[in-house]
Structure 1
């Protein structure tokens, strides 16, 4: 999923940020963009078709000889947020949802792996809060949730980062090093102000 999003950002330069968790990705296009004359149907159909085609193209790089069982299909929609604050609120909600879902799933499958049926695990977690799930993970399975890889706890944020790229000059055959803005996945907190202060270029207001 991250590779697909990176390829989409590589093809569509107007996308300034993408956020993904599970099987969902959000692509952010700034208010100043005139991509496809801001036709929502054109933007939506292009992004989702590019994403799906990259999913097929790069499948074997990640799953080897394990073949796709059916053609992947993704739905899409366009939402126009009126200002940066609401955009940040939306992205914060997406990351909070990632944390909630991952904490539940981590605890659920730990219980199932320990011998409980899926129904029993669901019943055990019914009505529990985050602190209860953290307690189950730590006391029963020795898992400190904060030590789980951040890609699972925080989801994937893709931004364009200054990266040194090496290529071969067609004229001299020598290596040439250049600095380019490359779409790169990072796994950081985007709810607090620190991320936005570090990347003020992402906001227009």
Structure 2
């Protein structure tokens, strides 16, 4: 058996622990799509106030928030309700995203669609919690189509402002850009394309870290 003048690293202990949390309806749909594509080395979680929407997601790990605030319903496109729901369950959110003592979460992706209630209101709270836990946090979010109305656009703008304060990086995906796909593009196609962009953003960053390559990236 060869002898080494130095101690070899335990690669299992060096493994990155990466989580992706989808918040609200749009975030849940995006994360369900990601999970179905088999991104390597990533754990998925969905959080929502809406019991029915949460049940319909294919992701195994689910977290219902704000049961007292919304009674198991959606946030009604009211960000204040989404924020209050997340505040109600701060401890449960922290427990879900921090990992274990043996495998603490190194990096958290927050996926959400901005402009509605839960995604817009709860995402900044989740980011605040991750910041307190010293988890590297990247938010990947979509903004509304302009035809969805000024209220949703302004709501999304406020959500972006709140997220910027507590994430390490923010990736914005304007849904309006999807109109360049062509006039024949249906709404289903457009939202599917948005999910693909979210997928590629998360996958590109996560697999740089989790898949061995010529250049090793870590959290040192």
TM bracket, shorter-chain basis? under 0.3
Q: TM-score normalised to the size of structure 2? A: 0.24
Q: TM-score normalised to the size of structure 1? A: 0.25
Tell which has more relative contact order, 1 or 2 (C-alpha 8 A, sep 6+): 1
Larger Rg: 1
